[in-house]
Amino acid sequence: MRKITLSNGKTVEVECLSCALTSGLIEPDGGVIIETKHFHAHQDVAYPIEGLVILASKRHIKCLDELTDEERLDYINIMTSIRKAQREVLGIDYIYYFYNEDTTHHFHTWMVPRYDWMNEFGRSVESVRPVLLHARNHRNTEENKHKVLKAIEALRSALT
């Protein structure tokens, strides 16, 4: 069991945070963005970036080549729908996709929108961590949190 501190300050003990989220044991702030048979999309609002989406498999796997044919199809289809919604309702031109197979949770992809303020951290993979940390440590205002929750709502209604 691992102790995890949630963005609302509460701590929970779970085997796997992704399992806890995708099974509904933990409700993410802002709620579920969209759920399919095999995938679950939500935002970690501790990183206040409008339109950032975390897409997690429901099955406890780590690697891309563990996906079944059906899961693989579901994955690319739902990711594409989310991407389209990010463009259409939030006006996001570019997304950075990130996942690492040696995760301490399970298979999940970060879909990180690219905004102009991120340019000072570089333009490619090297900028991802600094961008996330900057968002968490320096953009965590009530105003930004409100914008993030509105963006979640906009994505959810575009996707349902």
Residues lying near Zn ion in the complex (CB under 5 A) are found at 16, 18-19, 60, 106
Residues 140 and 125: their CA atoms lie apart, in Å, by 23
At closest approach, how far in Å is the CB of 56 from Zn ion? 8
Q: Which helix or strand (DSSP H or E) is residue 136 part of?
A: helix 128-138
At closest approach, how far in Å is the CB of 36 from Zn ion? 17
Kindly write down the DSSP assignment for every residue of 57-92, as one continuous string: ESS---SGGGS-HHHHHHHHHHHHHHHHHHHHHH--
Closer residue to Zn ion in complex, CB, 18/43: 18
At closest approach, how far in Å is the CB of 120 from Zn ion? 35
At closest approach, how far in Å is the CB of 106 from Zn ion? 4
Closer residue to Zn ion in complex, CB, 105/127: 105
Q: Which amino acid is at 158?
A: A
Residues 93 and 32: their CA atoms lie apart, in Å, by 23
SS3 of residue 28 by DSSP? coil
Closer residue to Zn ion in complex, CB, 19/45: 19
Q: Are 149 and 44 in contact (CB under 8 A)?
A: no
Closer residue to Zn ion in complex, CB, 22/86: 22
